[in-house]
Structure 1
Amino acid sequence: MSSLHKSRIADFQDVLKEPSIALEKLRELSFSGKKVSLEQPCAQGHTWSILLNYLPLERASWTSILAKQRELYAQFLREMIIQPGIAKANMGVSREDVTFEDHPLNPNPDSRWNTYFKDNEVLLQIDKDVRRLCPDISFFQRATEYPCLLILDPQNEFETLRKRVEQTTLKSQTVARNRSGVTNMSSPQKNSVPSSLNEYEVLPNGCEAHWEVVERILFIYAKLNPGIAYVQGMNEIVGPLYYTFATDPNSEWKEHAEADTFFCFTNLMAEIRDNFIKSLDDSQCGITYKMEKVYSTLKDKDVELYLKLQEQNIKPQFFAFRWLTLLLSQEFLLPDVIRIWDSLFADDNRFDFLLLVCCAMLMLIREQLLEGDFTVNMRLLQDYPITDVCQILQKAKELQDSK
């Protein structure tokens, strides 16, 4: 670890030790960032918790607030995962227990069974997405040091989310209709399990992979926010957050990474959720407006490059949609994403800086874009060639200062 890096970490520690955190100083330090390494994780949890309004500036209240929020999350688990054990014994209920209210074919949209089936649709999409989180590293497939004992308690006779997905998928695959309309049941064969369920080694009982924790966070979020539920891409937002908490050098933060990530993710989504709501796309708070803002900023800063992209009919939707919606989490490796997010979370105008980062990314490859045709330029924009995020952030800062 370089002396400069040690000095940066010491600066953060000094600010975070104060009885009342100096927010502007913390933002300044976070905006400038510090080197992030998968081998030497940094204590980002405290900083991001403050910048995402999970923790207040007064340190004296942290212990009670964290205890309260972590217990609240445990209550969510009990109410939304453990208690609705409707699928016990492969969703079987005895004939005498069946009533109109709890029958699986009950058409009432408010019935428990109808809710269960709808939840399964959401869960299957979440499961598909979280299993492939950050495929360039093995972290999310490894077992967490702190599995959720509340969930894995052998006294709880219910399906974990992973087992629920596997059961649901197998059921849908083993029921087939022949031409006469007769339903045939086939025994599930090993090769009938979808590749996504066999993609990673199954951990022993009592263990759970990090991706399973992320799956639970997203499922609880979807249940608590039915207006937006789960939209593909949210997994890419929660992934870096969870990684940051789950690799914190402080064992307490690692132990409670799931709950702390959930609340930070919820707060972050409260600020960027409009990007995920299709009906708001064309409003002033929607993603279309923000994409156009990237181009209007580019027009102001580099009109030649702007006109070239316009001439080739390269619309911002072709690349900026992903850049903005996922906060660049798909464009760079995880350590670089965390470094970028240090600056984004420190932005007191809340993601205005992201627009400048996107503009900087365009300007830093301007010569290639000016020379390239449509196909070459689309490849550049959808597989961004520059990996030095510090260079990008520096350029974005220059654009900010020149306003």
Structure 2
Amino acid sequence: MVKKQVPDWLNSSLWSSPASPPPIESPPQQRQQQQPSTPPRSTLRGEDAANRPSRSSPKSTNYSSESAVERPAIAVPPPAIRTEARRTKAEIRDPLSSNNNNYNYNSDEDNVSSTGSSTTSPSLAAGGSSAEDISRQAQLCQELSRKIINMGEVRKLASQGIPDGAGIRATVWKLLLGYLPCDRSSWPSELAKKRSQYKHFKDDLLMNPSEITRRLEKSTIDESNGKDKGLLSRSEITHGEHPLSLGKNSIWNQFFQDTEIMEQIDRDVKRTHPDLHFFSGDTPFAKSNQEALKDILIVFAKLNPGIRYVQGMNELLAPLYYVFKNDPNEENAAAAEADTFFCFVELLSGFRDHFCQQLDNSVVGIRSTITKLSQLLKEHDEELWRHLDVTTKVNPQFYAFRWITLLLTQEFNFADSLLIWDTLLSDPEGPQETLLRVCCAMLIIIRRRLLAGDFTSNLKLLQNYPSTNISHLLYVANKLRTKSAG
């Protein structure tokens, strides 16, 4: 059997890491503060790499309370540009942080990886924007100002990364997810309708049974024109309204069933990006954001009884809410919770089968998707596929399960994951195919280390993916698209 040759483009000079610029010297006391810490990674549905417990189990290797170690607050710079050097997973820009110290984010992993280095010019390190970003920002603003949005052009521009400085990512994501129509004149009415609908969802679904009973009591009194004032008599309380009722239609029985899910949601939300003050901490702002995430997930669980809540959904929700809450338009920022809910529903519609345990072994389940990734790798780099699948026997489920189900939110820092999502959401055919190409590119750009490794070293490497240049990663993923098309 003839071994499939490595594609010529893999030997391009693009694979060589350019020399990093000399580090900027900083005061001794500042250098002492530059030790980054890595937050615990989340695992969807509490799944371990080697063993996968049932979804009903609230315990998780990576979600354990022991792993949620409290870390000192880290001062981070304002929203960075696309070509900024990749930070360790603990270094995430935070709108509440005011200290803009220049940290040295180069890690040992950056120096070891043959393709993992990112370079930043001195001007960019100082916080400037590249000419490419400025040009793309201007083009996106121009497209968004049109009466009828050209979605083809918006997708093309957004797929290259949405510059942070313009504050337009929130609007672009709403367009890409189909939440906003192409006709700008209909935006006010559509937004008002959706936000009102979400308010009704909360009023109906988040009400305590005691409040429901009280309203029923008030309704009964009003119907009798106030003649029977006071509490309902024992005979007038229906079986479904009694707290000890076990009936399927009992509001109290349903409430107690929901309590377990609500407790799981509460635990997971509190662990969402513990390194980012936007989501964690004791500030009123952080707590209000946590409450918004919890309400969205509870409403979604009640409206989707077939899926309800699966551990890890909070990680998919966080980027959406973060982007929408930081919309420079104050009215939109105030309605971030409602907008996030509907966009979360749209996002999950393309991946909902991955969250149904009953469909895991079907053609639309998570195992089938992981198999597609393996086949994609075999198509583009058979040597690497054979080494992982046959020689070292690294089962793709040990690493790709989290990559796919959490849309890479746990493999890169928060800022880089937003850039990846720009590309994922821009695919007109849906994010899944692009996601698989990005995952395949993640394997290819560290192929030398994987080919030199055994089972243990490769599994450790893939479960703790090294620092990499996101622009280069997305370039390789796009190259895989064009090569497949050709």
Counterpart amino acid of residue 464 in structure 2: D
Question: Where do 1:362-381 residues align within 5 Å?
Answer: 362-381=443-462
Matches of 2:213 and 2:456, distance apart in 1: 53
Question: Residue 284 of structure 1: CA displacement?
Answer: 1.8
Aligned to 2:188: 63
User: Taking every aligned residue pair, what percent have the same amino acid on both sides?
Assistant: 43
Figure out how many residues of one structure are paired with residues of the other and give that number. 336
Question: Residue 281 of structure 1: CA displacement?
Answer: 1.4
Contact 2:168/2:327, CA 8 A, preserved across alignment: yes
Matches of 2:188 and 2:238, distance apart in 1: 47
Question: Residue 10 of structure 1: CA displacement?
Answer: 1.5
Q: 1:10 and 2:138 equivalent?
A: yes
2:202 to 55, 69, 77: 77
Aligned to 1:280: 359
Question: Residue 86 of structure 1: CA displacement?
Answer: 4.8
Question: Where do 1:16-165 residues align within 5 Å?
Answer: 16-36=144-164, 42-82=167-207, 84-86=209-211, 97=234, 100-141=239-280
Aligned to 2:4: none
Give the helix-richer structure, 1 or 2.
Answer: 1
1:209 to 276, 281, 288: 288
Aligned to 1:291: 370
Matches of 1:23 and 1:348, distance apart in 2: 9
Matches of 2:424 and 2:368, distance apart in 1: 19
Contact 1:291/1:317, CA 8 A, preserved across alignment: yes
The alignment yields a C-alpha RMSD, in angstroms, of 2.1
Contact 2:240/2:249, CA 8 A, preserved across alignment: no
Matches of 2:323 and 2:415, distance apart in 1: 10
Contact 2:324/2:340, CA 8 A, preserved across alignment: yes
Counterpart amino acid of residue 263 in structure 2: L
Counterpart amino acid of residue 196 in structure 2: E
Counterpart amino acid of residue 288 in structure 1: R
Q: Deviations over 1:55-90 (max 9, x none)?
A: 11111111100001011111111111246445999x
TM-score, with structure 1 as normaliser: 0.79
1:305 to 384, 387, 399: 384
Name the larger-Rg structure: 2
Aligned to 1:265: 344
Q: 1:243 and 2:340 equivalent?
A: no
Q: 1:341 and 2:469 equivalent?
A: no
Contact 1:43/1:250, CA 8 A, preserved across alignment: no
Contact 1:41/1:249, CA 8 A, preserved across alignment: no
Contact 2:239/2:250, CA 8 A, preserved across alignment: no
Which structure 1 residue ranges, 5 or more long, are not aligned? 142-199
Counterpart amino acid of residue 386 in structure 1: S
Q: 1:326 and 2:454 equivalent?
A: no
Counterpart amino acid of residue 122 in structure 1: I
Question: Residue 399 of structure 1: CA displacement?
Answer: 0.8
Matches of 2:166 and 2:136, distance apart in 1: 14
Matches of 2:204 and 2:308, distance apart in 1: 17
Matched residue of 2:167: which SS?
coil
Which structure 2 residue ranges, 5 or more long, are not aligned? 1-127, 215-230
Aligned to 2:394: 314
Rate the CA distance shift 1:402–1:387 in 2: closer, same or farther, 3 A: same
TM-score, with structure 2 as normaliser: 0.66
